[in-house]
A and B are shown apart, each in its own frame.
Chain A
């Protein structure tokens, strides 16, 4: 025990990389001729404790952040009464939710109904395990990290489906069905978008992707702007956030999949939504923004602080879109994915493959070729977006832009409409566009 104390006191300043700590513990156990498995158990527990405490802090603090930020966007204050700056508001919310009775409909499928909130929470936490929090700070440094996070991020939709279906409620069923439709639609572009990055960096290891960006001093966002947009949109659809919060759709289906949940079960959904948002922000921060790396800054500031900063920068984008945009209709959202995002992602993949091939074959230095590719890809993305809006975008041109103004009443002479006998009147224009 004194040894552990010395360990902590002598290394307290070295917080740049928490792996130092676990390295010291490993050394300590080896010196004491401890069993080999203990090393893994201790470092795994340490990492897990760190991640879980981070998640816990996120679930509490993000409620406050989101409500404050959206409050500012809506020209109001947001929670500001409980505690300093309203910081205790999430605590108050949580206490209220715990006190509430957990109601379960008589007709609900009990097991599915109870498991869904848990199944919704777990993937968001697991994603954090494979993310590199510092140079040597990945709890599980998987070689197939990208596949792992893709698999986990789509699990959430399954839990939402289970919750909606198990509630045995029509609104919840709507939400559940919409989630599944969105899952099969938005998985494809998001996978294709990440595939471009994998091609570029040549590895599926998330640490490897960060090291690639650190090595060439080039965040992949600059080289791959189009996949960033695609992944951002499709992950916001998967996260059920406005403008794609169709599974919840408060104004249409009154909460959708969680309409029957109350108390802490609802609280889990609520918290897990924020956790998942942070997980996706962390993925974007890792693969597009360079994770813990930030030019020379990461030599002074601890990498995990930079990483958290980047996570919240991306998270702010999510909050921003949520506070600004109205919601799509489900058919419009799916059409957007199939008609725009998937073809764009494919085109981008072809371009990236060609670029990587040229780079590998010619062997030009990265300092020359990467800025060139950055400009090229940005131009490509711009051209594709503009062309799509021009040729395939929604057309409103047949509608006049402005209203007419009359200074006197003016009623055209119209034929009277004969009424149907079943209570309605005909005359509704049949030519609604689909």
Chain B
């Protein structure tokens, strides 16, 4: 190849990626720097930013200590992630195992299990808002047969312990239930991974007298562990970033009693209701740091339980 064509090819590389480069500049690098700088300022969009040092970060630290504002949102977000992520993983794997059974109508069952995941989040939020209505909702209509005081769901808070009812489900549990209904994507990923497991592994285990549970525990689960890990990380990121469903079930307020005020919603409200861009930017950076820390921590522990091609990393 001549030097000219080589140079032309090198140049054309930059030309082909130029749309993304432009995007990198105006959608990532500029906002990245601006939000970091603004987090040290008082900024209401109308007047120019005024430097206030680490005031916002100190406020966030105080709120974490007192459990108000950001502290409240942090607790809510962690609660939601801790309830919804493990349950979603369990649900997705169970459904995938069931879909892997060689029975007639396999394709139909796969479609039926997946269909709820195609329901737009706005529609499913409206639907569950109605289904989980404390008074007129079908779910409480059913629970009413067994419990005198059914849960309040989106109108309730789980922290208010009362002895009247064993079911203390509040707004965040309702949100977790919604996310369980839409686990279709990871279900399909697990299903594909189960299909990739060598049948000879199972045959060998059967010869050793392994039962259904033992095969699942010692073959299927370890082989799925890289995907469980991926699901865990992505699930945490998604539940921390959950916004649309949170906004809709609380009509954009995080009520009742701020029980559905998640970090994403609190950031949005601080920025666009209270016009506190500086404080909101600081929230974004604290969130970024916490997510980074959580991901790093999970990667550290992953050595002990994630197997790549049957080998522990």
**Bound together:** no
